[in-house]
């Protein structure tokens, strides 16, 4: 997954890397992220929001962008569902939407796992079998009050206080009617996988384009090698344990 602000060429480059990542996750045994994909792209003229059942393919990449338009805010995700999570097509594809108030909507995408039963109980949902952990988490944020980052902080505190996740990466795109859009992210993991850098997020900034992305996407963008060494001066590992605005 990745969130970005920048021009069309950079967005297409990132989406091509997402496509390669979805075909073969080199840091997860070569497995494919085949359980659907989704994304939102926003510029001064339009908003494109899609969620698909089928895997991401090359056809989606060019048609998703308008080359006549300048800069975009974007959030895109290719899903690899865990065995415990539902697979009901586009309903379970990221990103999910959260209505904040009359002026703001947030889009949220998630890698990792959240034990959803405790959150579902808090929401009054007796059977969450057919609702994904990401959607349950989004519903919980929507239930809270205040501005988005404050709500997200409260939701994360609930998750951490109740030990509901050992691996949680979030990328959010907040869209404001007045055009004050922004991307924020959160990354935290407690378990160390066989590939220690796999759960980490990478941050990119060249002055004109900014992005936050998964490590596998960083590899296919040639920002990272197979051993986790950073190859590009404009890239660094993202801060962990705090909500950061890109």
Q: What are the DSSP calls for 70-84, one per residue?
A: --EEEEEEE----TT
CB atoms within 10 A of CB 228: 16
Mean pLDDT of the chain: 88
Residues 6+ apart with CB under 8 A from 106: 97, 98, 100, 141, 148, 172, 173, 174, 175
**What's the CA angle centered on 155, arms 138 and 205, to 5 degrees?**
80
Measure the CA–CA gap between 224 and 123, rounded to whole angstroms: 40
More confident residue, 117 or 236: 236
Please state the separation of Cα 156 from the chain's center in Å.
15
What pLDDT, on a 0 to 100 scale, did the predictor assign at position 95?
93
DSSP letter at 204?
A: E
Whole-model pTM: value is 0.92
Q: What is the pLDDT of residues 72-110, one digit of tens each?
A: 999 999 887 655 655 566 667 889 999 999 999 999 999
Question: 226-229: long-range contacts (C-beta < 8 A, 24 or more apart)?
Answer: 226/26, 228/195, 228/196, 228/197
CA 104, chain centre distance (Å)? 18
């Amino acid at each position: 997954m990745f969130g970005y602000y920048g021009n069309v060429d950079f967005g297409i480059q990132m989406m091509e890397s997402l496509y390669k990542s979805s075909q073969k996750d080199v840091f997860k045994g070569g497995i494919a992220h085949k359980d659907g994909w989704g994304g939102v792209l926003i510029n001064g003229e339009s908003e494109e929001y899609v969620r698909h059942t089928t895997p991401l393919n090359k056809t989606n990449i060019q048609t998703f962008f308008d080359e006549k338009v300048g800069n975009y805010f974007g959030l895109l995700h290719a899903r690899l569902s865990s065995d415990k999570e539902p697979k009901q097509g586009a309903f379970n594809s990221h990103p999910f939407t959260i209505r904040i108030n009359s002026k703001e909507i947030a889009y949220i995408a998630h890698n990792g796992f959240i034990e959803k039963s405790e959150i579902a109980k808090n929401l009054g949902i007796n059977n969450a079998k057919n609702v994904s952990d990401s959607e349950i988490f989004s519903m919980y944020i929507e239930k809270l009050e205040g501005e988005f980052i404050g709500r997200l902080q409260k939701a994360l505190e609930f998750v951490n206080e109740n030990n509901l996740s050992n691996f949680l990466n979030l990328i959010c795109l907040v869209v404001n009617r007045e055009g004050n859009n922004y991307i924020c992210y959160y990354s935290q993991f407690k378990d160390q996988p066989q590939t220690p850098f796999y759960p980490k997020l990478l941050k990119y900034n060249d002055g004109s384009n900014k992005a936050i992305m998964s490590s596998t996407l960083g590899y296919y963008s040639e920002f990272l090698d197979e051993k986790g060494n950073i190859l590009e001066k404009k890239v660094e590992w993202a801060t962990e344990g705090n909500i950061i605005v890109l």
